[in-house]
Each structure stands twice: as structure tokens, then as C-alpha cells.
Structure 1
Amino acid sequence: MLKRRGLISTLAFSGLLAGCRSEPATTTTPAAEAALRAEGLLPAPDAEFEALLPATPGDDPLAPLGSALRALQGGAQGRALVLLMGDSHIAFPRLAERLRDHLQGRFGAIGPGRMPPGRAQRGFLPAGITLEQEGEWSVAHALRAATPGPFGLSGYRLSGYRAGDRINLRASDPRGFDRLHLVLHCGPDSGSFRVLAPGIAGLPRATRTASPTTRLIRLDLAPGSREVAVELVGDGQVDLLGWGIDRRGNGVLVEAFGINGATLATLDNRSPAILARELAVAPPALIILEYGTNESTDRDFDAAAYGLALSRRIATLRAASPRSGIMLMGVPDAGRPIRRGRGACPVTPLPALQAVRAAQRRVAASERVGFFDWSAEVTQDPCRLPRLLHANPPLMRPDLVHFTVDGYRLTADRLHAHLLRGAGLGPAGA
């Protein structure tokens, strides 16, 4: 567990004030602007992400990613972000981690990036990172529209108020990290917190504001940091919508935000203003939407309504991040095992599986977004699922819906190859 004593040192930013305060008077001096950005009071697009993106994505949804990756391969300065949003397939981190390993191995490794705060996402065990949580924290997520917000990109909110309660992150990567990202929802009754890490002062950072607002804070830490904690002061509630770590420098980030049981509709439960700000500050080269498995269980599935909803959400993402490419992951095959033989196929496909996939494909074509055919690339047919279950190593879990670690890694391998081909980069190592 990270200790406060011995970690408190000088401020990482000269003149940095306490975290989220009331809106200050506008100023134009560079030092003051830097301090305000560090507090999340003056969020602006990160020039390192913008530098590698084309002015417009054009008609090719993978062009922004291809442009960014080719620039990195040629030695350009900047960062490229691949952002995945989805259901339990994305909430389980192994698919995204494998894709990250592929891309960072060739184009530059700069850490894991942003994630749900603390242990808000139950069962979230990212590789190489230990997450600990002490005290009385409450958790909410954007799965159901009836759950009060706000929610941002992560879809989770972690709230605490008791002095000394903390969340802690430790990284095993010997390269460590040197930046911390925090997304906080602030309001008139908000309290204060401390950041405990090398290279930054453990002074209280207030979050109280005259009216509800959100702060996107980026703090520079000592190079090679391996541990960081956020500790509550106890003078009011602190609401964390997300946090993350990375390293300064050139390379690729792959960030993934999933909620177990999610459908496409859960995107509407995120605050549009917060989501737009998070996308604007770190514009992705590619946004990947992975939904459809839970919709496939709906016996009354309305393909026309689903198609309209999917088109509307693509339009919303385009408006929020106009220089980003967008891609859909077509729903993979899934079904229920038949315990007593009923013909040649021992599986009953989810009732709306084919209709969901067909709607996704139609929308991808009409909206000019990318499409990764998960069925063609990995599962191939519902009747083949038991073979994947009994493969060596097994690729499916017994529920014939979710994949094993090896199944998700195989999916990431095929997705990586699909992205490189679409981006005009050929196979890895070419």
C-alpha cells in the first residue's frame, strides 16, 4: 500500500492550485493557462493526438488510424488512440490488452491509458495493474436509464466522502508511468482529495464549484512512477468518473470501456456533454463500437428501430469527434447448448442473432463506417461453437456466449490484422 510519508514533494506544475475550484477569471498568460489546464478548468484538445489525424476522416473509416500509424512509423511526434466501447466482451479486458500489445509493440508503448475509477467495475482485473480500494465507496453505472447520472466515457461513477478512504493503483511494468488522468464531477457540496505519488505535492485539492460541472485533470508525475493513490480529505463527497495512467512520448493507446449486460442504448445514459468533452480532449484515431450480443436475446427485436438508433449514435459520435474514424464489430455467434440431440446442430442460436448482425452490416454500409465481421473471422457459425468450446486450448466458455482468454486473444489477433489491412499497413512487421 502506498504511504503518504516520503512521497510528498514539490508540485509537478509550477503554480498548480488545488484540483477543481470555482471557475476563475479568464486569463491569457501561458503559465496561468497551464495551471488551469492542469486543474481541468480549461480543457483543450491534446495537440499530441490532433497532430497525427487528418483534417477530415473522408470516406475511409480507417484512414485516420492509418494516417496516425504511418506517421508514428515514420518517426513523427504524437499519439494515436484506439477507443473501444461495448458490453461484457469489452468489459473483460483481455481483448483490448492483446490489441494494445500488438499496436504498441510496433508503433510505440505509452501505457494503458484511461479506465473506470478504482474498483468501480466489478471483476475488472487489468494485466500488470493492481487496483485497491479502502473505505466506504458507492458505485453506479450507466447500464440502466433509471440510474441517476452523470456518467462519462467509462460509464461508471465512484463516490466517497470519508476522510482517509482511498483508491490505489500499482503497475508492474518496469517502465512505470508519469501521468495521471482524473475525471471528476464537481458541484456545490463536493469535497477535497489528495493525490499521493512521487513528484507531486499531497496537498488537498478542492472539488467544490458553484454549479455542477466536470473537470478533466492531467497531472505530471515523476518518471518511472509505479504507484499512485487518491485519498479523500473528508469535507464533502468526491465523485470520480474515470482515471488513468500513461507515459509521455510517442505511441499508441488502446482504451476500452465496457459494461456487463450493455446494449447500444447504454450510450444514451452517458452525459452527452461529458462524453463530448472527453472525446474532444483526446480525439481517437478510431472509435470501435462492440454491441449486439444482449440485443440478440430479444425475441421482439425490431431491426428497423435498431438500425435508426445505431445511425443516430454514429452521428452523435461524429459530431463529438469529427476527425475520428468509426467501426462496428459485428456480433459474434452465440447460442444455447441443446442437451438432447435435435438434428445436426447442437446449438440454438440467440433468437435475434442474425437480424442484429444484418442490421449492423446495413448501417455500416449506409453510414460509411468500418465493419469487422466477428463471425466470419472467429466463430463462423453457431453450430461450430461446441468445437470452439472443446478446442485445445478452449476458445469458448460453456455458456457458448463468452470467450475464454484464448478466444479473446484470437479475436484481437484477427481484429489487429483487419485494422492493419484496412489502414494500408499490411501485416505486422511489414
Structure 2
Amino acid sequence: MKRVIGICGIAIMGLMLSGCQTFNTEHGYGIVDYGNDNSDALKNKMRQLLIEKNTVVSIIQFGDAHTSTGYFIETLRHLMQQRFGNAGIGWMTPIAINRSAYQWDIINSQNTLQTDFPMGGYIAKPKHNGAEIKVVLNSGQPRVGLWNVHLMLKSKTTEPISILDTDGKADLSYSLMNIEPNQWRVMNTVTTMPFSIRADSQVELGGLWLQKHNQPGVIVSAVGMKDAQLVAWNQWSPQWLSELQMTNSDLVILEYGTNEALDKNLDAQEYRTNLVTSIQRIRKQLPNAVILLLSPPDLMIQNQQKGTCVEHVPISYEIVKSTQIAVAKAENLLYWDWQKAMGGRCNIAKWYSEGLAQKDLIHLTPLGYEISAEILYQSLLQYWGIAK
């Protein structure tokens, strides 16, 4: 049985979504539940966290440029942690780390033939022995207290790696002697923030998991790649999937579809197969997680000077959305219609006129992403049965 949530008169970032409606499956800003078996467990866990503050809920979002910009996920993280407590950041790729003096090189999986990449598609490598890379929290994260740090590492040799606290003292020093060469491994420590990672030139850093030590609350992670399509899930190495399991995520959000919608030659059957395969792989690693599909935001193309609104909608946009909904129903997922949250078809033009979308009518401005994230946040609260 599907459950539909409505949102009424929400004030967002100085704007007002006026009126009050209950939206059904076809017309809704809310979360639509197509019978997910884990939904009730997650609802109970969120309520328990809010009242008893004795557990950790992990949320991870995978997506394309809308995710990789950071504005959407940072807003969602802020809102979640403000309400439910701050349990940390979660998964971070090396690209998100402050590279002190650029002593480390960042390698992108899209620019190399190497296929053994960790989750997120980036690797950091020291330029010389003893190079340091500094991990610094942004201004929105408290800098006191201890953090659990899990590092994804690989080395060709037995060269050591160290974690250094703010005083330059080693919290952890690992010899890689007992580690099989060229195999990704997770190494764990507890340290203060900020800290530095010092390693020799044969070490590779694939990413970090950052969680506050013995702290209840919410963790919100993001793995976004600018030109990503869902087909990438079928090309991920087994390493990606093992790291996904390590996140122990309660809610997995899939934000893909924009690049597919812009593909004039999109094969609908192939897209559906990729979507189903990806969902099955996620469920194999995280059998207790809830999976939420996001539709692409409203889009328009500008290669015609004239024409109706419909003629400016990407040719594959409706294929993507109809396929997503069909798969959500068949696989018992949650679904959130981002286009309808923006007001419906062709409202991207209005968002642009209000400074919420970019000129390409595909990407949003920072404020546009922040507003979108708050609408999703409010939708989740309504779905979980938690008062605003």
C-alpha cells in the first residue's frame, strides 16, 4: 500500500510555498511509499532518535552534478542534524579534503584507465615520502570532541602511514607489513579535529568515514560525480559495494536522471535494467536500508527560439520519470518528484527569473538547491510522522 504525504504553506529561505493541498501519487511534493518493507523500521528509528537520542541514523545520497555541487546535501545535512543531532559527516572522498600545500595528487577515475577505485571515484597519492594531507571541518561542524576515523588505504609496499593531531602528535601509526599489497583496507582510529594524514609515496588514500565518537544523531553523506549516469553503478568495482556496506546506511537516496533525460538516444529498456540492477546491488549490501528515488528536477532545453513549453522539455525526460515510477512500484521503493516540488513542468523558467536556476535551465543556483533540499527535508518529516 502506498502512502502519500502533503506539505502545506511551508516558508523556505524567505520564500513561501502558499496554499494548502493534499497531494496524491500523480500530483505531489511529498514522499510516495510503494510498499518498502523497511519503511516502518526507519520511521520508528527516527522517532526514537528524536525522543531518546540514543541511536545513529546514516543517510547517503548518490547522484550527478546536482549532488556533487554540495549545496543540496549540505542543506539537507544541516537541517537533519539541527533537528536530530549531529553524529558526523560520514563518507568523504579525497577531493573534499583540504590538501595542505598540495603535497598530494588527486586522481579522478574518469581520467584514467585504472578501474580499482573506491566509492566516489577519487584517489589521493603523496607526491613524496612524508607528505601530509590535512582534514579540516567546515564552519558548520563543531571542532571539539573525538571523532572515529576510518581510512580506506592501499599500498604497494609496507611503508607506514600516520595520523597527526593538532599538536603534531601521532594518534595512530600503521605499519602496512601485514597488509596484502595493492588491496584496499580499512584502518580505524579515534582522534581530535583537525588532523593530518602523513604517508609515503606508495600509499593511496581512497576516502574517509568521519563519525563523532559516542554521539547520537544523523550522518548525511554524499557521493556525486558531475556527468554521472545510473549506468555507472554497473561499472563500479566490488570495492565500491563493500564500502557501501561499511556505511551501514539506513536511507539511500538515488539522485540520477538529468544526464539520461538529456540523452536523445536513451534506451528505455536499458535504463530500466540499469536501475533495477543498481537497486538489487544496493539491497544486497544494505538489506535493511530504505531506498528513495529522486526524479530529475524540472529541465528545459534552449536550442529552439520558439515553441511551446512542451517543445522545450528534453526528449527523454518523460521516459526517465515514467521508468523511475514503474521501477519504484515494482521494487517497492520510495519516490520523490523533484519536478512537482518545483511547481511542475516548465517552472524551471520561473525559477531562473527568481534567481533560483542557472541560465542553462538545467542546474540550479545555490539558493535553488537549498530550497529544494528543504522541501525534501519537510517531505521526509511528514512521511516519518514527525511534526515540523
Q: Distance in 2 between matches of 1:91 and 1:290?
A: 11
Aligned to 1:86: 63
Aligned to 1:386: 349
Provide the TM-score with structure 2 as the length reference. Answer: 0.82
The correspondence for 1:139, drawn from 90, 106, 109, is 106
The correspondence for 1:409, drawn from 370, 373, 385, is 370
> Given that residues 161 and 237 in structure 1 are in contact (C-alpha distance below 8 angstroms), is that contact kept between their aligned partners in structure 2?
no
- Tell me the SS of whatever aligns to 2:54: coil
Q: Distance in 1 between matches of 2:202 and 2:236?
A: 21
- Tell me the SS of whatever aligns to 2:57: strand
Q: Distance in 1 between matches of 2:123 and 2:153?
A: 9
Q: Does 1:192 align with 2:157?
A: no
Aligned to 2:288: 323
Aligned to 1:422: 383
- Tell me the SS of whatever aligns to 1:59: coil
Q: Check 1:288–1:174 CA distance in 2 against 1; reply closer, same or farther (3 A cut).
A: closer
C-alpha deviation, 1:257, in angstroms: 0.7
Q: Does 1:282 align with 2:282?
A: no
**Mapping 1:21-420, distance limit 5 Å:** 59-60=36-37, 62-117=39-94, 120=95, 131-143=98-110, 147-171=113-137, 172=139, 173-189=141-157, 191-198=159-166, 201=170, 204-207=173-176, 209-222=179-192, 225=193, 227-232=194-199, 234=200, 236-248=201-213, 249-272=215-238, 274-337=239-302, 340=305, 342-345=306-309, 348-378=312-342, 380-382=344-346, 384-391=347-354, 394-420=355-381
Q: Check 1:292–1:319 CA distance in 2 against 1; reply closer, same or farther (3 A cut).
A: same
Provide the TM-score with structure 1 as the length reference. Answer: 0.75
Q: Distance in 2 between matches of 1:63 and 1:133?
A: 45
Aligned pairs, number? 350
Q: Distance in 2 between matches of 1:279 and 1:406?
A: 30
Which one is further off, 330-339 or 259-268? 330-339
Q: Check 1:136–1:424 CA distance in 2 against 1; reply closer, same or farther (3 A cut).
A: same
| CA deviation vs aligned residue, 1:228-269 (integer Å, no higher than 9, x gap) | 11122x3x4111111243322100001011011001122233
Aligned residues: CA RMSD: 2.6
- Tell me the SS of whatever aligns to 2:87: coil
C-alpha deviation, 1:134, in angstroms: 2.9
Q: Distance in 2 between matches of 1:239 and 1:113?
A: 20
C-alpha deviation, 1:190, in angstroms: 5.7
C-alpha deviation, 1:66, in angstroms: 1.4
C-alpha deviation, 1:205, in angstroms: 2.5
- Tell me the SS of whatever aligns to 2:342: helix
Q: Distance in 2 between matches of 1:381 and 1:131?
A: 40
C-alpha deviation, 1:195, in angstroms: 1.1
Q: Check 1:263–1:190 CA distance in 2 against 1; reply closer, same or farther (3 A cut).
A: farther
C-alpha deviation, 1:294, in angstroms: 0.8
C-alpha deviation, 1:210, in angstroms: 3.0
Q: Percent identity?
A: 26
Q: Distance in 1 between matches of 2:115 and 2:158?
A: 15
Q: Distance in 2 between matches of 1:267 and 1:412?
A: 24
Q: Distance in 2 between matches of 1:111 and 1:91?
A: 19
Q: Distance in 2 between matches of 1:271 and 1:387?
A: 41
Q: Structure 2 counterpart of 1:183, which letter?
A: L
Which one is further off, 182-191 or 353-362? 182-191
Q: Check 1:270–1:177 CA distance in 2 against 1; reply closer, same or farther (3 A cut).
A: farther
> Given that residues 117 and 206 in structure 2 are in contact (C-alpha distance below 8 angstroms), is that contact kept between their aligned partners in structure 1?
yes
Q: Check 1:346–1:320 CA distance in 2 against 1; reply closer, same or farther (3 A cut).
A: closer
| CA deviation vs aligned residue, 1:20-64 (integer Å, no higher than 9, x gap) | xxxxxxxxxxxxxxxxxxxxxxxxxxxxxxxxxxxxxx8345334
C-alpha deviation, 1:295, in angstroms: 1.1
Q: Structure 2 counterpart of 1:218, which letter?
A: N
> Given that residues 182 and 240 in structure 1 are in contact (C-alpha distance below 8 angstroms), is that contact kept between their aligned partners in structure 2?
no
Aligned to 2:22: none
The unaligned stretches of length 5 or more in structure 2 are: 1-34
- Tell me the SS of whatever aligns to 1:337: coil
- Tell me the SS of whatever aligns to 1:167: strand
Q: Structure 1 counterpart of 2:115, which letter?
A: G
Q: Distance in 2 between matches of 1:404 and 1:61?
A: 34
Q: Check 1:64–1:116 CA distance in 2 against 1; reply closer, same or farther (3 A cut).
A: farther
